[in-house]
Amino acid sequence: MSTTSQPADAGRVTVIVLAAGGGTRMKSKTMKVLHPISGRSMIGHVLDAVAALEPHRVVAVVGNQREQVGPHILGLLPGAVLAVQESQDGTGHAVRIAWESLDPADRTGTVLVAYGDTPLLEGESLRDFAADHVAAGRGVSILSGVVAQPHGYGRVLRDAAGEVTGIVEQKDATPEQAAVSEINSGILAFDAAFLDSALPRLTNDNANGEYYLTDTVRLAREDGLAVGAYPIADVLQTEGANDRVQLAALAREKNRRILDRWMRDGVTIIDPQTTWIDVDVRLERDVTILPGTQLLGVTVVAEDAVVGPDCTLKDVEVGAGAHVVRTHGELAVIGAGADVGPFTYLRPGTELGAGGKIGGFVETKNARIGDGAKVPHLSYVGDAEIGEGTNIGAGTVFANYDGVAKHRTVVGRHARTASNNTFVAPVHIGDGAGTGAGSVIREDVPPGALAVSAGPQRNIEGWVARRRSGTAQAEAAAAADRSSDEPDTPPQE
């Protein structure tokens, strides 16, 4: 092994993600970096981008509400190292704590520092930045950006020749420095040996009384090391959300980018303004998304399917060519060519077969509905299995709950059940069986049988006149009675 093999070493990347800040402007019991955008926490987006660097180690600096943030980070990245910063004494202090948490043997190569609240960050940008840093052989590199409103950011200072000389924070800037529009995004890359030597040299002798990581730029210059800034054209990638107004703005922008990608991949989105698609959703070509639709979680939509208008689908699988209209669905599977909606509620465990139908005002839960089977109108289907080709009549309730436990109803293949039935589980309706309208099915129905539970109809003449006299109902009944007593009007000559 060579001792000072810079290039081989420099390729090894350690990432430090700063997430100790309080995020007080969110005014939330949820820590800032845990607020979600496009179905993933802000820090989840950052960790995803960071993965593109194939880092040797990822250290996350946590402080405020670390009992929330720590487990979340470890859930996403079990190999992450958590470093605890008890008091937020500045970015330099935070990185020092991260650095000290690393095994000394790991303090080599390239170190990239990022923040946990930049949800638009892309792995490719980090890769380009790190590659530029390594190729230029710098002690420290700044991922910078040119912005119209630099107020609040650290400004990148350059000399007459354009060489970077340092970063000055807003509060420490002269009016002349404050006029600079090139800002420090906060993402910095370091040579590990330089960072190791620089961290103990940082002081808090500034307007904020904090240890500034940005002072490393000046120190590197003093050490005679190369420093430089790599401007990112797409500055939104490094923008953080400090309050809920910025959170909403970044969420909309993230969503816009996700939709653009899908449209470029062959998905038709009629109204991008009212369509929201989470980052882990997968869509095939020639899918059409109609207005007012949210595709969330790990929803997958296969080719030629049409979803919307006004659907919210979370962790739903939509088969090729299916149509889903005004539907709220979660953890459900919709088969190829199937029809769902409008005004349909698919609860977890719903599986609709190919060519099947779940129609208007139908709620389903834990229900396997076979190929070509239909539950077209006004029904509740819970804990059920419905065989292929079966049709369930309008207004059927699968009474799955006896007040203590849930039970299952099985309806066989090609059965025809009539309107306004109640199936009292556990009950089994056989293949090719039928039921009469208004039946309450409590006993199993054998294959091919017709089950009729409603008794024969009895009309009790004159009941309303006797029991409801003086009411509008009785008046109407009496009027009908009189008109039927009158002789037929003779035909007019």
Active site residues: 377
User: Based on CB atoms, which residue is closest to ligand UD1, 10 or 34?
Assistant: 34
Q: Least distance (Å) from ligand UD1 to the CB of residue 114? A: 9
Smallest separation (angstroms) from ligand UD1 to the CB of 60: 9
Residue number closest to ligand UD1, CB atom: 154
User: Is 253 or 371 the residue whose CB approaches ligand UD1 more closely?
Assistant: 253
Measured from the CB atom, is 93 or 133 closer to ligand UD1? 93
Cβ atoms of 155 and 182 within 8 Å: the answer is yes
Rounded CA-CA distance 145/121 in Å is 13
- Residue recorded with tokens 């993402």: 187
CB of 376 to ligand UD1, least distance (A): 53
Q: Which is nearer to ligand UD1, 62 or 267 (CB)?
A: 62
The residue (of 89 and 315) whose beta carbon lies closer to ligand UD1 is 89
Query: In the complex with ligand UD1, which residue's Cβ is closer, 91 or 327?
Result: 91
To ligand UD1, the closest distance from the beta carbon of 286 in angstroms equals 41
Q: How far is the CB of 52 from ligand UD1 (least distance, A)?
A: 20
Closest separation in Å from C-beta 366 to ligand UD1: 43
| Dist CA 210 CA 204 (whole Å) | 5
Q: What is the SS3 string spanning the chain?
A: CCCCCHHHHHCCEEEEEEECCCCHHHCCCCCHHHCEECCEEHHHHHHHHHHCCCCCEEEEEEECEHHHHHHHHHHHCCCCEEEECCCCCCHHHHHHHHHHHCCHHHCCCEEEEEECCCCCCCHHHHHHHHHHHHHHCCCEEEEEEECCCCCCCCEEEECCCCCEEEEECHHHCCHHHHCCCEEEEEEEEEEHHHHHHHHHHCCCCCCCCCCCCCHHHHHHHHCCCCEEEEECCCHHHHCCCCCHHHHHHHHHHHHHHHHHHHHHCCCEECCHHHCEECCCCEECCCCEECCCCEEECCCEECCCCEECCCCEEECCEECCCCEECCEEEECCEECCCCEECCCEEECCCCEECCCCEEEECEEEEEEEECCCCEEEECCEEEEEEECCCCECCCCCEEECECCCCECCEEECCCCECCCCCEEECCEEECCCCEECCCCEECCCECCCCEECCCCCCCCCCCHHHHHCCCCHHHHHHHHHHHHHHCCCCCCCC
Q: Minimum distance from CB of 33 to ligand UD1 (Å)?
A: 7
Neighbouring residues of 207: CB distance < 8 A, sequence distance ≥ 6 = 169, 171, 172
Of 479, 482, 478, 480, nearest to 469 by C-alpha is: 478
Contact residues: ligand UD1, CB under 6 A: 18-21, 61, 85, 88-91, 93-94, 115-117, 153-154, 167, 169, 183-186, 212-214, 240
Nearer to ligand UD1, 89 or 317 (CB): 89
Give the nearer residue to ligand UD1 in terms of CB position, either 169 or 363.
Answer: 169
For the CB of residue 189, give the shortest distance to ligand UD1 in the complex, in Å. 14
**Cβ closest to ligand UD1, residue 88 vs residue 274:** 88
Report how far apart, in Å, the C-alpha atoms of 49 and of each of 133, 159, 487 are: 17, 33, 89
To ligand UD1, the closest distance from the beta carbon of 211 in angstroms equals 8
